[in-house]
Each structure stands twice: as structure tokens, then as C-alpha cells.
Chain A
Amino acid sequence: MTVLATFFWGWLLGAALLGFCMGWIAVVHRAQGVSKVWMRWLALLAVALIAASFARIVPGRFGYWLDLFLIMFALYLVGCAIGSWLRDWVVSRSKPAS
């Protein structure tokens, strides 16, 4: 993993920035959110993919692509969380001022 991170830091940084932007937007976005049921299913899918990655049952290139996706997705989520939290902090600071 460490080797992958050093090798592809550009792509991973891209995923994290994408997540940051999405998180930044999400706080004030008025779009329909994903339902709780869907969230559960998606979480289950994520757990299944992570389990498959750790068990190394996906062979060859597909295994590599799965690992790559999971890392990028994890960084995306981290970026989203940071982006949303920062935006919320900025929004809540500006409100009392107005």
C-alpha cells in the first residue's frame, strides 16, 4: 500500500481534492440525498469489496484495479469529510456576523 501511495500520489491527491470539493458543495447543496436503505446497501457493498481486497481473491489486474479503486474511494471520502466540515465551520462562523 505504501508503495502504491508513493507511486501514485498524483492520482490519490486528485481523488482527495475531488472529495474535498464535493464535501464543500454538499453542505449547501439542495439535491436529493441518498436514502438510509441505500446507504446501508452501499456500505455493505463497500465492506464486501474491502473484504475481497484483503482476502486477495480477485486475481491479476482486476485485483490491482480493485485495490486502486478502494484507496481512491477512501481518500475521496476523507476529502469529502474534511470539505464538509470546513464548509460547515465557515458557514456557522459567518452566520452570527450577518
Chain B
Amino acid sequence: MHGLFKWSSKWWPGVIPLVVLWGLAAWSSTATVEADLAARSNAALKDTVLDKRRISVDGRDVTFAANAFSEDGRLSAVASVEVVPGVRLVNDETRLVPEAKPFVWSAERDVVRVTLGGNAPLPASKSKLTEAAKAGLGGVEVADQMALARGAPPRFDTAALLLLDQIGKLKEGKITLTDNKVNLAGMARELGGREAVAAALKNLPDGYSIAANDIKAPPYVFQAYKDPVAVTLTLTGYVPDNNVHAALVAAAGRKFFSEKVVDNLKASIGAPSGFAAAVVPALGALSRLSTGTLVVSDREVKLSGDALYDAAAGQIRDGLGKDFPQGWQYKAEVTVKPAAAPVDPTVCQQLFSEILSKGKIRFESGKADIVPDSAGLLDRLIETAMRCPNATIEVAGHTDSDGEEAANQALSERRAQAVVDYLVRAGLPANRFTPIGYGSTQPLAGNESEDGKAQNRRIEFVVK
């Protein structure tokens, strides 16, 4: 032992190469040690839920910064870094995620994207919501601007997923969840969407309630287009139900005597009240136009097109609004079609016959009152009469053989007179027309069948 002490006084020269060796070891190993410890610390925290985790290693000292979602989670995260082999000290810079009060989450949809904003309670629910938005909205860009915060109400994920489902039913709008109160605003994508959203909101988890639901329905649109070239009437848009649908198509068939009705209507809820009562007279006004478009959007009726003559334009502009139910608005942009070239009386006769072969002037049963459905037909007859200003025209009334001959005679005369009155009101000179009643003396077909009788009840225009 004494020898060892004696020899040790001569060990000092080796310290010089030892220091050199130490310098080399320190120079070459520091970065390796730091990288190794950082990797081990990150591995130790692999299963711990943290936000903004940052680990930096200086020598063997680990600086650990992170936002934890609970105090327990924070302490266990620090402890798991402390027990990583090789770690000398842990500089604990961890904090708790800030608590949001009130806890607000929102989903906003505009033309191009859906933006998720506000707070989410955990990274897992944040990614779950983003994924659900991407999956549920099919191709719409999803922008995730959610921050993380504590203080979410219970069953937040379920509620947020349900609300996210509703954003798909909106064209644009915003759904906000403030603690457990839901606010909705915007415009539904389709008719019935507003009602579907309201129904789905009944499934919100217990404790959640709706503070405001300001979702608007898209306009309820019905359109009719009269095309004089294709000789069609195209109906598009929505009708409240199948009964109204059938009634509208039937009314269009009566009013548009020569056009083929193209029916592209769809039944949908959400119609304004008095829909059929407004649309039927509006179709009547459209039938009087040479070419025109009828657009019914919610309670606003817009009619545009060309009337056949001046007086008709005035009647269409002023007359229609009066028939409408309360609260409906009417806008007419009716111009007058340029007058057609004058023609010989013989051509006029041909035109009259042609028009009257396609449709008939109809009267109330047993009376001399012209039904409103015949307005379009009469306008065509008036336009034709204007093209041969020098011709005198006999307006001949005919009946079937039902009832007394004297009564039929009188009815045919009154009906012929009613037509002449109508023509005069339209601006034609009264002296050009001679109303004559023939009763049932000039039948076109046998009076034995209903079909034959219907053919015999008629008004004829004869150019003299």
C-alpha cells in the first residue's frame, strides 16, 4: 500500500495524454449523445397526448416543453422523460393547454371551402373532425383552423360530428357551438334542407340546446317558358305535391291550346302559401304572350315576354296582380310584338280556321261567359283580325241539339255577341264584326254522342 502511494506521485505525466484523449472523446461524442437522448426521450413520450412538444438536449440535460391536457398527464410525461437512461437533468417547461371559457367551436361553409375554427379538446378529436369533414363533404376543401383548449363540454365529439353533418346540408353558413349552445345561420343547399337540419338537431346529446337556428331555405322556384319556335311550354322547378302538379299541368293544357307541355317539375316541400292560386293565373297571363318566361321565386312572380297587341300588354301588366293571394308580388316586363304584315282576307280566313281547329273558345256551361282559359286563343284571333283590317267578319255561334231550339238559338246569339264584345274591347272596330247565332241548325257532327255534341258547340269566324 505504501508502494502504491509512492508510485502514485509519479503517475502525473500520463494525465497530459489523458486530457488530450478526454478532449477527443468530448469532441466526437457530444452530438451523438445528444441525438441519442433526444430520440430516446421522444420514444418515451410516444403514447403520451401532448401539444406543441419540443425536446432539446444540451449535453445530457433535456429541455422538455409541451402543452399537456391535464395535470396528471403533464406530471407523468415529465416523469417518463426523467427515467430515460442517460438523462441527467430535465428542465421542465411543460404547461397545461389553456382553458377556453366559453369553449367555442365553429364550422363555416362558403363557396369554396369549409373552415373548422375555434377549439378542439384533444388532437385526436381535432383530426377526427377534420377527417369527418373531408369524408362527409366529398371533395370540398376543408381548412382546419382549430386550436386546442381545455374546458370542452361532455360529449363534445358527438355533438360536433352531428353539427358537421349538418354543414353538408348548407350551401353557405356557419354553425357555432358555444359551450353547449348551438347557433346556426346560413342558407340550406336544397329545398327541405332547413327542415332536415332541424330534424337532425333533435339528436344532439343530452345537455346540448339550440340557441338560435337562422337557417334560411333556398328560394322556391317555379319556371315556365313558352317557346314559339318549338311550340312548347316547358315547366321546371318545384311544386308542393302531386295533386298541385297534376292541376298545374292540366291548367297548362287548357290554356296553351297549341303548345306541347314539357313537364320537368319536381315535388318538394317548402312552397309558399297560395302557390297554386298564384301560379294558375300567372300561367294564364303567359299563355297570352307570343313568347315569354314566367319565373315564380318564393312569393315573387316575374313575367316577361311579348304580347300580341297593345291592349293585351296593358291587360297583362295591370290585370294579373289582382288575382293573387295576399303577400304575393307581381312584376311584368311585357313588350308588344311587332305587328305582323297585313294579309288578304282569304289568308285571314285560313288563319282563323287553322287557329280554331287547334282550340275552341269555351264558355261557362249554359252561359255566354267566356272562360279565362280561352284568353290566349282569343288573343291569337284578335292578332289575326288585325292583319286584315278591311275584312268584315261574321262571328257565328253554334250549339248542340240539347234543350229547346229557341233557347239554343238565343244562347248561340249571346255567345257570338260575347265574342264580338271581347274583340271590340281589345280595340277592334265594332262595325267589322257581325254576331250571328245559328242555334243547332248547322251541326258538324251527329248529336247522338257526347263527342259529336262537343264538336257542334263552337264559334266560327267567317270572312265575308
Contacts and interface: CB of A to CB of B under 8 A. Distances in A.
Interface in A33-53: 33-35, 39
B25 A68 contact: yes
B138 interface: no
B95 interface: no
Given A2-B85, A3-B86, A72 B13 contact: no
B184 to A, nearest CB: 55
A17 to B, nearest CB: 10
Contacts of A67: 60, 88
A92 to B, nearest CB: 10
Q: How large is the interface on A (under 10, 10 to 19, 20 to 34, 35 or more residues)?
A: 35 or more
Given A8-B25, A60-B58, A15 B18 contact: yes
B431 interface: no
A63 B59 contact: yes
B44 to A, nearest CB: 14
B130 to A, nearest CB: 39
B139 interface: no
Contact of B59 (A18, A65, A85): A65
Given A14-B21, A18-B18, A72-B25, A60 B10 contact: no
B8 A80 contact: yes
Interface of B is mostly: helix
Contact of B61 (A14, A35, A59, A84): A59
A31 to B, nearest CB: 6
Contacts of B3: 84, 88
Given A18-B18, A85-B4, A65 B26 contact: yes
Given A7-B33, A14-B21, A73-B18, A31 B10 contact: yes
Nearest to B36: A7
A77 B15 CA distance: 10
B86 A72 contact: no
A69 B270 CA distance: 85
A95 to B, nearest CB: 14
B357 interface: no
B17 interface: yes
Given A61-B30, A64-B60, 8 more contacts: A11-B21, A11-B24, A33-B9, A39-B9, A67-B60, A69-B22, A72-B18, A88-B3
Interface of B: 3-4, 6-15, 17-18, 21-22, 24-26, 29-30, 33, 36, 58-61, 85-86, 88-89
13 contacts: A7-B86, A18-B18, A26-B7, A29-B10, A31-B10, A39-B8, A59-B61, A61-B30, A64-B26, A68-B25, A69-B26, A76-B18, A81-B4
What 6 A-B pairs are tightest by C-beta distance, nearest first?
Answer: A33-B9, A22-B14, A64-B59, A60-B58, A61-B59, A11-B25
